[in-house]
Amino acid sequence: MALPLLFSDAVMRQHTIRKAVSLEGVGLHSGKTVRVMLAPAPADSGIVFRVGERGDAIPAVPESVVDSHYATTIGKNGTRIQTIEHLMAAASGLGIDNLEVRVDGTELPAADGSAKPFVQMMLAAGRMPQSARLRPIRIPHPIGAGGNGRWIQIVPAETFRISYTLDNEHPVIGTQVLSWTPTEESFVAEYAPARTYGFLKDLGFLRKSGRALGGSLDNTIVIGKTATLNGLRYSDEFVRHKVLDLIGDLALLGGPIAGHVIARNAGHALNFELVVAIQRALGLALDNTIVIGKTATLNGLRYRDEFVRHKVLDLIGDLALLGGPIAGHVIARNAGHALNFELVVAIQRALGLDRRAALRAAAVSAVKEAAEALVPARRLATT
C-alpha cells in the first residue's frame, strides 16, 4: 500500500484504528515517565491530542504548533504536548488519518528514539477503513524556506517523493544523500526504525537548558568524537531519521501530497516553515475564505450557520439570471451552482420567459434587498 502522503488520483478513503492501545515510556526532553493511549476516532476528525481524559482537544494541525525547535510541540490554552513527530510519522506511514491520542504528561514517550514502537502499536490495533475520502494536496508551484546551507523546498510532481542531503563536518556523519518514493512497506522496514541522534559534547548544554533530560543510549544514537557509542541500524541512519521527522511534520497538513520535497540540512523549524508556506500558497489562510480543518474552521465563523447562508447567497445570485423578482418558495438540499442553473432553465421553460432588458434593473434591486442580511457570508475551502 502507498504511503498516504503519496498522492493518487484513485479514490482514497480515510482510516482509523480498530481498538485502543497504549504505550508507556520516558519522555526524551522531560525525562518523566509518561503513558500514551491511542483510540479510534470518527471520519474527518483528524489526529487529536489531549492531556488526560478531559483535557482540551489539541488538533494536530499547523495552527496548534507552538514550538518547532529540537522537536514539534503543539498546544492550546497553556497546555503543551511535546515531541509528536514520531507518532505523526507512524500514523502517516500506515495510513491512519483519524486518531484520538491521550497523554498523561506533556510529552510522548521516546521509546527507542524512532517511530517503530508507534508503528507496532498501530499495527497491533488494526486499521479500519472509513467512508470519508482523503483530501489531496496538489503543489501548484515551487515553494520553499531557508537558504544558504540549510533549506527545504517542494516542487510540483505527480507523486510524493523526498530527496534529502545531510552533511556534517563530524566524521561519523559526513555527507549522506537519499531519494525515496515512499511506500508503506519501505517506510515500515527502512525509515520508521531510524533513531534520533545527538552529540555527546552537547549533552551538558542541553540538560542545563532543560532538554534531553530523558536521553539515553536506549533512545538516542549518541555520537562521540570518532564513533557512535551504541551503533547504527543503517549506515545512513542519520539522514533516514531526518526524513522520518519530515514525514511527521508534513502530516500536519492533513492530506496526501503531490509534490517532490528537496531538502538540505533542514530540521523541525524549517519543516514547519515549509508547512506554513504550503498553506499560504494554496490559499488556505485567506481572509476571504472559511478554511475548514479536520476538527474546526481555522479562521472562525461570522454566523453559526454561515455555511448554509453562503449557499443561499449563491442561489440568490444564480436566480437573478431570470431577470425579475420571483414569487415562489425555493426548497433545496445540498444544491450548488450546477443545480441552481438547472432550476433557472426549468423555470424559463415552464413560464416561457425571455430575458427582457426592461426587467434587469428591477432584478438587481430585488437581489440586493433579499441578500442584504447574507452579504457577509464567505466562500468555503477545505484543507
Residue range 247-259, pLDDT digits in tens: 999 999 998 899 9
What number is the average pLDDT over the span 7-11?
Answer: 46
* Whole-structure pTM value: 0.73
Q: Which residues pair with 176 in a beta bridge?
A: 166
pLDDT at position 357 is 46
Computed over every residue of the chain, the mean pLDDT equals: 88
What number is the average pLDDT over the span 60-89?
Answer: 95
- pLDDT tens readout for residues 153-212: 999 999 999 999 999 999 999 999 999 999 999 999 999 999 999 999 999 888 888 888
Instruction: Pick the closest to residue 140 from 156, 152, 154 (CA basis).
Output: 156
The residues assigned a catalytic role are: 268
Show Cβ contacts of residue 310 under 8 Å, excluding neighbours closer than 6 positions. 374, 377, 378, 379, 380
Residue 6 has pLDDT above 70, yes or no: no
Residue 219 has pLDDT above 80, yes or no: yes
Show Cβ contacts of residue 102 under 8 Å, excluding neighbours closer than 6 positions. 36, 37, 39, 49, 50, 51, 52, 53, 55
166 or 365: whose pLDDT is higher? 166
pLDDT at position 336 is 87
Instruction: Return the domain boundaries, the chain.
Output: 13-292, 306-382
Centroid of chain to Cα 297: 14
pLDDT at position 54 is 86
Amino acid present at 116: K
Give the pLDDT band of residue 341 (cuts 50, 70, 90): confident
Give the pLDDT band of residue 135 (cuts 50, 70, 90): confident
Show Cβ contacts of residue 211 under 8 Å, excluding neighbours closer than 6 positions. 29, 70
pLDDT at position 24 is 96
pLDDT at position 343 is 92
Residue 296 has pLDDT above 60, yes or no: no
Give the pLDDT band of residue 4 (cuts 50, 70, 90): low
pLDDT at position 127 is 96
CB-based contact 195:221 (threshold 8 Å): yes
CB-based contact 326:315 (threshold 8 Å): no
Residue 298 has pLDDT above 50, yes or no: no
Between CA 69 and CA 121 the distance in angstroms is 27
For 13-292, CATH gives 3.30.230.20
CB-based contact 151:166 (threshold 8 Å): no
CB-based contact 253:383 (threshold 8 Å): yes
Instruction: Pick the closest to residue 25 from 71, 87, 98 (CA basis).
Output: 87
